Structure 1
Amino acid sequence: MFAMETWKIMEDKMIDINKRSCIFILQAFSKGGYIKEAFNWLNFLAENDRMHYAPMFNIFLSGCWSSKSFNHVDRCLELMENQLVGKSEITHWELLKLAVLQRNLSAVHEIWKEYTRYYSPSVIMLRKFIWCYAKLGDLDSGNAALKHLLVLARQGSASLSISGTGNYQSSAVDIPIPTKEKSYEKRFSLDNLSSLTFEGNPEKNEGPVEVSMDESSMGHHSIMKNLELKKSFESQSKLNIIDALLLKINGNTFFNELGKGRCIPVAHTIFDGAVRIDSSNFQVKQEDFSELSSGKMKQGLEMTSCPLKNLLRWSFNDMIHACAQSNNYQMAEQLFLQMLDIGLKPSEHTYDGFVKAAIEGKGVDYGMKVVKMMQERNIKPYNNTFAVLSVGYSRTLELDMAESFSNKISDKLPKNIHTFNTLLAACGFMDEPERAVRVLAKIKRLKIKLNIRTYELMFTLFGTVNVPYERGNILSHMDVTKRIGAIEMDMMKNGIHHSYASMKNLIRALGSEGMIQDMLRYLDIAENLLWQTDAHQTNDLYNIVLHALVKAKEVSRLLNSAVNRHKAIEVFRSMRSCGLPANVATYNIMIECCSMLKCFKSACAIISLMLREGFYPQTLTYTALIKVLLANEDFEGALNLLDQSHSEAIQLDVQLFNTILREAYIKRRIDVVELVVESMHREKIQPNPTSLWYTFSAYVESDFHSTAMEALQVLSMRMISEDNEILQGKKSVFEELILNEDPDVESEIIKTFKGSQEFLATALMNLRWCAIMGYSISWSPEESQWAKRLANKVST
C-alpha cells in the first residue's frame, strides 16, 4: 500500500515512472502476497503502453510460487504472449518451481523440452533441473542431466562466478526466447497441468527429454555445426540408441547407451556442448559413469572453479537424497563412489543422504558403518543423520542405541518429533515406560511441539499402571485417572483434539486396567466426537470394549428380568440396534462371553447368526467354542470339537491346544493332558512355554515327579524342533551350553536367543535345569518311554 501511495504522489508531481520504479512496485506486491494487485499492476502497464521486460514477469511468477497462488500463472503467461515478452532462463526456473510445488513431473518434462528448444543448457539450469527431478523422484532423468553436467565441467566450457549478493551466476547472457506460437504459452498453464499431453508418459519415463540445438539459437552455435550434429544423430537412428549421451574421450566420440551399459563408436563429430538426452526406458547400470570416472575426468575437475565444484556437489547431494527417498541404495552407492573417483569431496549433507539410503537399502547396522567412516574422517554428522539412525534402531527394537542417537539431536525442528514418536512406539512395544519418560523429557528440553501421534502413544504407555503384571485396584485406578487427565489437559493446552487412534488407545488402556465405567463413558464420548468415523472403525472400538468386558467379567442387572447377564451382551445388543456391522472378531468375543454364562446353546445361536451374515468360523472361533464346553467340564465334547476342526481343515495353533490343557490341569485330568500333548505332536504343533507349564504342573500336583521331568525334557526338545534330524544337528552346540559349568552361561543363553528365539532360550534353560537335577539328556525324544506310552495310548 505504501508503494501505491508513493506512485500516486509521483503521478501528482508528474514524475515519470521508469523501469526500476515499475519493478519495485511489482516486488512490493509480489513479495507481500498481493498477487491479485500485482497482476492488476501488470495489466495497468500493458494498457498504458508502459515498458515490459521479462524480469517483471519473473518477479510476478516468483510471487505466485512463494504465496502458492496458481490461479494467475496462466493469465501471466497469456499476458506475456500478448505483449510479445520472451521467456528467459529465470522464467523457466520460476515455472519449474511452480511445477515442483504441485508435484507435477509431467510439467517439468515439458518445460525441459521447451527450454532446450531454444537454449543450450547452462550448468546453472542443469543443476536446477537435477533438483527438480530429484524432488519428484525421477532418478533416471536426474541421472542423465547430471551426466551432462559432468561433461560440461570436464570440458571446462562452463564458468561460474559469485555475484555481490552471494548468488551463483553464469557468464552466458540470458537472452529471452521469442514467442512464436500462441499455443506455446498454454502448454505451460499450471491451472491445467493435469490435461497436458506429451510424447509418451513422462511419469513412466516414456516421454523424450531432449537437449538439442535449434536454428533459432544462432547466438550460441553456427548453423553448420548444428547441421553436423543433426546428421550425427540421424546416423544413429538405426541402432535404436536414442537414450544416449554424446561424449568425447581422448579425441574419440562415443554414444554411451544408458539403458544397456555399453559404448558404441559413432562417426567423428566435434563435441560443442549440444547433447541429446532421452529419458524413455532409462535404466541406470553400474557402468553409466565409467567414461566419466577416468583420470582425465578427475584432472578436468581439479581445474574447475570452486563455485562449479560446489554446484556439482549439490547436484550429487540432491540425487543421493532422492535415492534414499526412493529406496534405491544401488544408485546412491554408485553416485557416492563416483564423487570419490572424480575427486569431489563429499560434504556432511552428502553423507546424510548416503546414510539414509544405506539404512533403507542394507539396514541400520550398515548405516552405522558409514557414520563410523565419517568419524574417522573427522566429519560431524548432521542432526538429521542422528535422527535417521535413531529411527532405524527403534524399528529393530535396539532401544539403547536408539535412545543414544536421539540424545545427540540438538535442534528443535518440528520434524524431529517423528524420531521421538518412533522411539516412543518402540518403548510401548517393549513395555519400557521408564525409558519413555526420559524421551518425553528430552522432547521438553528441546521445546519440540507434540503432535497427535505423540499423545496416541502416551495413552498406550501411561494409560495403565499394573497391566500386564497384575490386576488393577483402587489405588492404580486413581493413578490412571490422574495420568489421563494430565495428558488430556496438555492436549487442550496445545490445541490438539482427540483422534480415532488416541481414543482407541485410551479405551483399550482403561479396559486393560479394569476401569469399566470409565471405559464405557469414553466410548460414548468417542461416538460423539468421532461421528465421521466409518462403521468399521467404530466396530473396532466396540470390539475393544467387548473384549475388556469379557475379560473383566463385569455383570449388570437388567430391571426387566431378574437375571444376571454379562454387560457385554447389553453392549452387543446396543451395537446391533444401531446397525453397526459385526465382524468375525465380534462374534468370537461373544462366543467367549457364553463360556462365562456356561451356555453352549447361546454360543450355537451366535454361530448361526455368524454363518447367516457370511462369516466362516476360524481358529479363534473354535477356541471360543471349546472354552464354552470346558466351562461345563465337557472334556469329551471339547476333544470331539478339536477333531472336527481338524477335519474341516481349520489351521490349528498352539493356543487352541493350550485352552484344553489349562482346564485339564485345573481339573487334574492327566488323561486329557496326555491326549492333547500327543495330538499336538501328531499335528506338528510345537509347544510353547505355556504348554510346558500346564503339562509339567499337572504331573507335579499329582505327585508324578519323575514323569514330570521326563515330559519337561521331551517337550523342551519339541520346542527346539519337531524334526529329529535338526535336533541331532544342533546337539553338539546346544549340549555345550546346557552342560557348561560357567555361572554366566544362563545369561549368555538368554542374551543369545532373545527376541524371536525366546522360546529356544526357554527350552535350553529347561534342559539345563534337568541336567543340574541329575537327569541325563537324550536328544532322541521319540525314544522316551513317556513319549512311546502317549503314542500307544492315542493309537489304541
Structure 2
Amino acid sequence: MYRALWRSPLRFIVSSSSSSKFRPTLSRELGRSGIDNGGSGGCSCSRSVTTLIGNEFIQCQDESTRKVLQEKIIDALRSGERPGASALLSKLIHGNNPLSADDFHGVLKYCARSPDPVFVMETYSAMCKNEINLDSRSLLFIVQALCNGGHLDKASEFIQALGGNDSISPLLPVYNYFLGACVKTRNGNYASRCLELMDQRRVGKNEITYAALLKLAVLQRNLPSVNEILKHYVDHYSLSILSLRKFIWSFTRLGDLKSAYELLQHMVALASRGELFVKFKSGKLHSTRLDIPIPSSTQTRSEKVALGGVNDHTVSLMVDAHGKSNGIESSNVVLPKGQSNNIPATRILRWSFNDVIHACGQSKNSELAEQLMLQMQNLGLVPSSHTYDGFIRAVAFPGAYEYGMTLLKVMQQQNLKPYNSTLATVSAYCSKAFQVDLAEHLLDQVSECSYAYPFNNLLAACDSLDQPERAVRVLARMKQLNLRPDMRTYELLFSLFGNVNAPYEEGNMLSQVDCCKRINAIEMDMVRNGLQHSPISTRNVLRALGAEGMVNEMIRRLQRAENMYLETPTYNIVLQSLLEANETNMVIKIFKGMKACGYPADAATYNIMIDCCSIIHSYKSACALVSMMIRDGFSPKAVTFTALMKILLNDESFEEALNLLDQAASEGIHLDVLSYNTVLRKAFEKGMIDVVEYIVEQMRREKVNPDPSTCHFVFNCYVEKGYHTTGIEALNVLSLRMLGGEVKESLQEKKTELEESFVTSEDPEAETKIIELFRDSREHLAAALLNLRWCSMLGVRVIWSEEQSPWAKGLSNKYG
C-alpha cells in the first residue's frame, strides 16, 4: 500500500480548477512562524482562521473540533494504535466543514518528528483525494518525515514532481532540509539532483544552504570545493563569526591549516572591533543579522563544485577594501572591554581556536599550536579540556613524553579533567618511549575507550622489553573497558605469548604443547571477533613455532597460509628457523618453491641461503647465490661475507677467508664483530695464535669493539698454548675496549668509580650487582667488569689504558 501511495496522480495536489493559483503569504513561504508555534500556524481556538483554496476565501468553522481530532490522531500514533489513527483521519476528512492544509499541520508535524513516513503518506493521500491544497509548511513536514525515515529517494521524487506544477513549488527551506539529510546519510547523488533542481528553479541560496554544501564537501574530502564555496560566499555575504566558524571547521577537517589559520585571525579581528553579532536562541547560537537568500544565477557554480570537484583553485582570503590583508599578529589583538564577557562570542572563538589547534595536532605543527595557545591567553580565552586535548597531540611526541605529562599536571592545577583521548594519547607516547609504568598508570585512569591503539602501543613495548606479565594486565584492562581487540592486538599477542621459553632456551615437549594451546586460544578469540590472519600475524605464529623447534607444525601452517598472499619476510622466518634446526634439505626445497611461485627473494633470503651453503660446505653454490643476489639489485653486506668466510674456514682455507676480509674493507663494507668472531673461532680451534692476533689488530684499526665471545676465543687460545700472563693481559685490554663502547664518559673519569664499586670492591654483593646489569640488557658492560674483577682476583694489576699494555703495543707494531 505504501508504494501505491506514490502512484497517486499529482493533479490532486492542487484544486481541479485550472485557473486556481497558490499565493501564500511571506511568513508561510518561509515556513518559520508556523513551525515555531507548534504547528498551529499562529491560530488560536478562540478565533476562526482564513485559508486559501484555489482563488476563493472560505471561512472555516468549528476549528476547535478539528484541532481536537488532530490531537487524538497524534495520541493514537504515539500509543501505537495505527488503525485508530487511520479511522480518526478518515473522520477528519469526511467532516461537514471545508478543510485546508492548516487542519493537517499538527499531524504532519508529528509524523516529521517521530518520524513516521508511512502515516505521513497516508495523510497526504487523503488530502489529495479530497482535493486539499498543500501549503509550504505541509510540504516541509512531508519532506522532513520522508528524510528522517530514511526515504531520501521518495523525498527526492516528491520535491521533483511538485516543482513541475505551477500552483505550488518547494521553497528554499525544503531544499535546505533535504540537503541536510543528504549530508547526514553521505548521499552525494541525491544532493546533486537537488542542487540541479535549485539551479533550474532559481530558488536561490542562503547561509543554511552554504552550511550544508560545506558539510558535504568535507564528507567527500573535497578541499577545492570548500575554496570555491568560500569564494562565492564572500561575493554575496560579509563573513560573520558563525560563517567563519563553519569555514574554519571545514578547512581543519581537510587539513588546510594555512587557510584555517588565516580565517581564525580574521575572526579575531572582528572580535577586536566588537563585531560579534551572535546570541542564544532555543539553546543554540544564532546570528543576529538577517539571512536573505541569494537569488539563483547562471554564474553560480559552487554547488556543482561541491559534488563534481574542480582543479586546485587558490582563493585569496580576507582582503579588505583597500587590498590589505586583515591577518594580524596575536600579540597586537585584545578583545574590547565587555566583549570578553560576551558568552556566545567567546565560546565560538574558543571553538574555532580548538579546531585549529586540533588540526595542528594532526599535522604535528607544535610551533603554531604554541602560538595559538599564547594568543588565547592574550585574548582572555580560557583553554578547556578540549583545547588541551588537541594541544597535547601537537606538542608531545614519543621523544618528549615528559611534556605531555607536564601538561597533564597543568590541567590538574586548573581543575580540568583530561579527556579519555588525552590520557590515551600521552600513554601512547610513553609506551613508544618505553616508559611502561607511566603508560599503564595513564590507561588505568581511562574510563572509556573506543580505539585499541594506546593499548597496542603498550603491548608492543611489553613485547620489546619482554614483559609478558604486564601484557596480561593490559589485556585485562581492555576487557574491563569492553574494548574489542583489533588485528594489531592479535599480531602482538602472537609475538608476546606464542613461544613459551625464555630467550636462548630451546623448546621441549612440554613447552611445545603449551605453545600450541596458546596459539589456538588466541586464534579462537580472533575468529570470535570476525578477524582472519594477516601477513604479520601469520609471520609471528611461524616465528613462535620456529623458536620452539616445531618444524613440522610450522611447515603445515606455511602450506595452509600459501592460499592467501604471503610476503617474502614470512618465507625468511621459515627458512631461518629450518636452518637453525639443520633442516638444510627442507630449506632448499622451500626456497625453490618460493621462487617457483613468483615470490621475489630479498637480501635476507639470499643471506640465509648462503649461510645454508656453509652448513652443506658448498662454496660454489654460495658464489652462485651471490651472483643472483647482485643480479637482483642487492649488494653483499657484512652478513654475506661472514657466511662466505664460514664456508672457507670449514675447508680450512684461512688465506682465502682473510682475503675476503681485505676485499670487504676495500669495498667500504664495515664488518661487524660477528664477522671477526667467525675467523677467531676457527683460529682458536686450530690454535693459530698469529691469525688471532692479526684479527684482533684488524678489529682495533676498524674500530670494531669486541664482545664476550671475542674475549673467550683470544684468552683461551693463549692459555691453551701456555701463555697465561699474555692471555690475562689480552683479556684486560679487550675488556677495556668493551667498556669503551658501553661507557659514555672516558675510562679515566670512570676509573675510580668502577674500581671501587665493582673491580676491586670487597663487598660480597659486588658480583651480584654486576650480574644485575645482565638483566638490564647491558651484557657487554657486565662481562667486561666480571673479566676485570677476575683479573684483579688473580693478583694481576688491572691497567686502565692500552698504552700501558706491551701486548697491545706489540700487535700494533707487528700488524700496523
Equivalent in the alignment of 1:208: 316
Equivalent in the alignment of 1:321: 358
Question: Pairwise mapping of residues 757-768 of structure 1 onto structure 2 (< 5 A)?
Answer: 759=780, 763=784, 767=788
Q: What's the CA shift string for 1:148-201, capped at 9, x where partnerless? A: 22222233332322222x221121111111222x141366433311x3463xxx
Q: CA deviation at 1:496?
A: 0.5
Question: Pairwise mapping of residues 104-503 of structure 1 onto structure 2 (< 5 A)?
Answer: 104-164=222-282, 166-180=283-297, 182-185=298-301, 188-193=304-309, 195-196=310-311, 198=313, 202=314, 207-210=315-318, 230=321, 232-233=322-323, 242=324, 244-245=325-326, 288-293=329-334, 297=335, 299-302=337-340, 304-360=341-397, 363-413=400-450, 415=451, 417-503=452-538
Q: Which amino acid aligns with 2:330?
A: F
Partners of 2:160 and 2:564 in 1: how far apart?
50
Q: CA deviation at 1:686?
A: 2.2
SS in 2 for 1:468: coil
Q: 1:628 aligns with which of 618, 642, 647?
A: 647
Q: CA deviation at 1:398?
A: 1.5
Contact 1:720 1:727 in 2 (8 A): no
Structure-2 change in CA distance of 1:80 and 1:616 (3 Å): same
**Which structure carries more relative contact order (alpha carbon 8 Å, separation 6+)?**
1
- The alignment status of 1:739 with 2:756, answered yes or no, reads yes
Equivalent in the alignment of 1:45: 162
Partners of 1:571 and 1:361 in 2: how far apart?
41
Q: CA deviation at 1:551?
A: 0.8
Contact 2:398 2:429 in 1 (8 A): no
Q: CA deviation at 1:578?
A: 3.0
Contact 2:463 2:492 in 1 (8 A): yes
SS in 2 for 1:151: helix
Q: Which amino acid aligns with 1:153?
A: A
Q: 2:563 aligns with which of 510, 524, 528?
A: 528
Structure-2 change in CA distance of 1:670 and 1:440 (3 Å): farther
Equivalent in the alignment of 2:799: 778
Q: CA deviation at 1:135?
A: 1.5
Q: Which amino acid aligns with 1:208?
A: S
Q: CA deviation at 1:362?
A: 7.0
Contact 2:225 2:305 in 1 (8 A): no
Partners of 1:48 and 1:787 in 2: how far apart?
104
Q: Which amino acid aligns with 1:402?
A: A
Equivalent in the alignment of 1:227: none
Contact 1:77 1:185 in 2 (8 A): no
Partners of 2:429 and 2:398 in 1: how far apart?
12
Partners of 1:308 and 1:747 in 2: how far apart?
67
TM-score (norm 1): 0.81
Q: CA deviation at 1:699?
A: 4.6
Structure-2 change in CA distance of 1:512 and 1:722 (3 Å): closer
Structure-2 change in CA distance of 1:692 and 1:103 (3 Å): farther
Structure-2 change in CA distance of 1:662 and 1:300 (3 Å): farther
Q: CA deviation at 1:51?
A: 3.5
Q: CA deviation at 1:528?
A: 0.5
Equivalent in the alignment of 1:641: 660
Structure-2 change in CA distance of 1:197 and 1:610 (3 Å): closer
Equivalent in the alignment of 1:687: 706
TM-score (norm 2): 0.79
Identity %: 46
- The alignment status of 1:4 with 2:133, answered yes or no, reads no
Partners of 1:754 and 1:356 in 2: how far apart?
34
Q: Which amino acid aligns with 1:553?
A: N
Q: Which amino acid aligns with 1:778?
A: I
Partners of 2:642 and 2:630 in 1: how far apart?
17
Structure-2 change in CA distance of 1:660 and 1:139 (3 Å): same
Q: Which amino acid aligns with 1:732?
A: E
Structure-2 change in CA distance of 1:626 and 1:711 (3 Å): same
SS in 2 for 1:162: strand
Contact 2:228 2:302 in 1 (8 A): no
Q: Which moved more, 1:74-83 or 1:513-522?
A: 74-83
Q: CA deviation at 1:722?
A: 8.1
Contact 2:495 2:544 in 1 (8 A): yes
Q: 1:575 aligns with which of 594, 603, 615?
A: 594
Partners of 2:165 and 2:134 in 1: how far apart?
12
Q: CA deviation at 1:750?
A: 9.6
- The alignment status of 1:21 with 2:125, answered yes or no, reads no
Structure-2 change in CA distance of 1:650 and 1:196 (3 Å): closer
Q: What's the CA shift string for 1:92-137, capped at 9, x where partnerless? A: 1111111111222211111111111111111111111111122122
Q: Which amino acid aligns with 1:596?
A: I
Equivalent in the alignment of 1:96: 214
Partners of 2:616 and 2:181 in 1: how far apart?
71
Unaligned stretches of 5+ in structure 1?
213-229, 234-241, 246-255, 259-287, 556-565
Q: What's the CA shift string for 1:198-218, capped at 9, x where partnerless? A: 3xxx4xxxx312466xxxxxx
Q: CA deviation at 1:312?
A: 1.3
Unaligned stretches of 5+ in structure 2?
1-116
Question: Pairwise mapping of residues 528-677 of structure 1 onto structure 2 (< 5 A)?
Answer: 528-530=563-565, 537=567, 539-554=568-583, 566-666=585-685, 669-677=688-696
User: CA RMSD for the aligned pairs?
Assistant: 2.9
SS in 1 for 2:286: strand
Q: 1:788 aligns with which of 782, 801, 809?
A: 809
Partners of 1:29 and 1:769 in 2: how far apart?
88
Q: CA deviation at 1:602?
A: 2.9
Structure-2 change in CA distance of 1:20 and 1:762 (3 Å): farther
Q: Which amino acid aligns with 2:300?
A: Y
Q: What's the CA shift string for 1:418-458, capped at 9, x where partnerless? A: 11111111111122222111111111111111111111111
Higher Cα Rg, which structure: 2
Q: CA deviation at 1:576?
A: 3.0
SS in 2 for 1:169: strand
Q: CA deviation at 1:475?
A: 1.0
Contact 2:249 2:355 in 1 (8 A): yes
Q: Which amino acid aligns with 1:189?
A: V
Contact 1:727 1:779 in 2 (8 A): no
Partners of 1:12 and 1:211 in 2: how far apart?
58
Q: 1:30 aligns with which of 147, 169, 185?
A: 147
Q: Which amino acid aligns with 1:48?
A: N
Q: CA deviation at 1:404?
A: 1.5
Q: What's the CA shift string for 1:589-610, capped at 9, x where partnerless? A: 1111122212323323333444
Q: CA deviation at 1:758?
A: 7.0
Structure-2 change in CA distance of 1:465 and 1:95 (3 Å): same
Structure-2 change in CA distance of 1:750 and 1:170 (3 Å): farther
Partners of 1:37 and 1:99 in 2: how far apart?
24
Q: What's the CA shift string for 1:228-280, capped at 9, x where partnerless? A: xx3x33xxxxxxxx5x11xxxxxxxxxx6x6xxxxxxxxxxxxxxxxxxxxxx
Structure-2 change in CA distance of 1:127 and 1:187 (3 Å): closer
SS in 1 for 2:563: helix
Contact 1:737 1:745 in 2 (8 A): no
